Amino acid sequence: MLDLEGRELPEMQIAHVSPWRLPVRGYGGSQRVLTWLVRAQVDRGHQVTVFAPHGTRLPGARVIPLPGALGSKETADCLRDAAAGADVIHWQQFPQNPIVDRPWVSTVHGNSPGELEFHPNKIYVSRSHAKRAGSSAFVHNGLDPAEYVFRESKDDYILFLSKVSRKSKGVDTALRLAHELGFRLVVAGGSRWDLLKTGGWWNSWRTRVEFVGEVDGARKAELLANARALLFPIRWPEPFGLVVIEALVSGTPVITAPLGAMPEIVTPEVGFLCTTMEDYQRAIARVEEISPFACRQRVLQAFTHHHMAAAYEQHYTHAIARWREQASRQSNGTGVVAR
């Protein structure tokens, strides 16, 4: 097993602590990322244990059902007993008390002030995400390409796939563009009634707009693969944006804003970064210039679940070294290692 620089790494015993039952039903972006990460770690020869709610099924991993909520005494006792031999513990929800005296890390998925508060064990999901927290520790999310469909030939629609109920995702911008330019827009991720919260209600009736609701699995894969482009006109610093790499691996260009992680993912070869309505209009007119093969290669070369697993291995190694140094200093009576 090799790291990102081609160096040999030892097999690890990795324990994940998940607040979610896996695999998830419905979209569940963070849950899917963890499922893919576990899959890749098993593929790479690690011994993986997952502590998660009852009903979790992850082939190749040892699954231990959590007896209660993460903060409960029953769960604390379970983790203390079963995770004591792990080389590293990976939390998907930041632990106020790590419970087990072992090396640990925690992935940060969101943008809340608490999540962006610095801690040396936190790992963010993009360079931009980490920078806003005063950190340099990040691992880009990755996906399993086998779960997606690649299409070179496209249907005559542009896709908006995100939470329609969140104004920061920009569905009103997508609807305005569809109204002004007259293209067919498929909206997935909510209903027309959500527009009463986010805007765009009138444009949703005046244009060729189809709302398909929440989508997942084969339906989502087909929508992504057949679209001329994914329109992702965000208004906030997106921590990562899983739908962007889902579109790219399907051979679908991405039209978005240069916010958050978008410049780290969307290059001129695979899409457009837009700051004005005129930019969006020009991007839509030029989307046929983008090669579906280039879009897919962008993911295969940088954003698969195996890329993600290899990057986490580096952070695990650093966490283990940090923990050993701290333990050594404490045993020598020199105090706790400073952050």
Backbone angles phi, psi at 302, to 5 degrees: -150, -20
* Residue 25 structure tokens: 């039903």
Q: Is 130 helix (H, G, I), strand (E, B) or coil?
A: helix
- Give residue-wise pLDDT tens across range 223-238: 999 999 999 999 999 9
- Between CA 304 and CA 189 the distance in angstroms is 24
- Give residue-wise pLDDT tens across range 164-200: 999 999 999 999 999 999 999 999 999 999 898 888 8
Q: Is 113 helix (H, G, I), strand (E, B) or coil?
A: coil
Q: Residue 180, exposed/middle/buried by CB under 10 A (0-12, 13-18, 19+)?
A: middle
* Residue 288 structure tokens: 């046929």
- For helices 277-286 and 171-181, what crossing angle results, to 10°? 60
Q: Strand ranges (DSSP E) for the chain?
A: 13-17, 47-52, 62-65, 88-91, 104-107, 122-123, 158-161, 185-188, 209-213, 229-232, 254-256, 271-273
Of 55-59, 176-180, 208-212, 327-331, which gets the smallest average pLDDT? Answer: 327-331
- Give residue-wise pLDDT tens across range 302-323: 999 999 999 999 999 999 999 9
User: For tokens 């962008």, what's the residue?
Assistant: 298
- Between CA 38 and CA 46 the distance in angstroms is 9
Decide: 152 and 292 in contact? Cβ < 8 Å: yes
For residue 73, the surrounding DSSP H or E stretch is helix 73-82
All structural domains of the chain, each given as residue ranges with its CATH number in brackets, are: 13-143+306-331 (3.40.50.2000), 146-301 (3.40.50.2000)
Of 16-25, 56-65, 95-104, 130-139, which gets the smallest average pLDDT? Answer: 95-104
Longest CA span, the chain: 73
* Residue 37 structure tokens: 């990460």
Q: What's the average model confidence in pLDDT over 270-291? A: 98
- Give residue-wise pLDDT tens across range 243-268: 999 999 999 999 999 999 999 999 99
Quote the distance between the C-alpha of residue 311 and its chain's center: 14
With 0.75 as the threshold, say if the pTM is over it.
Answer: yes
Q: What's the average model confidence in pLDDT over 7-11? A: 66
Segments in 190-304 forming alpha helices (H): 195-198, 201-206, 217-226, 242-249, 262-265, 277-286, 292-302
- Beta-ladder partners of 64: 51
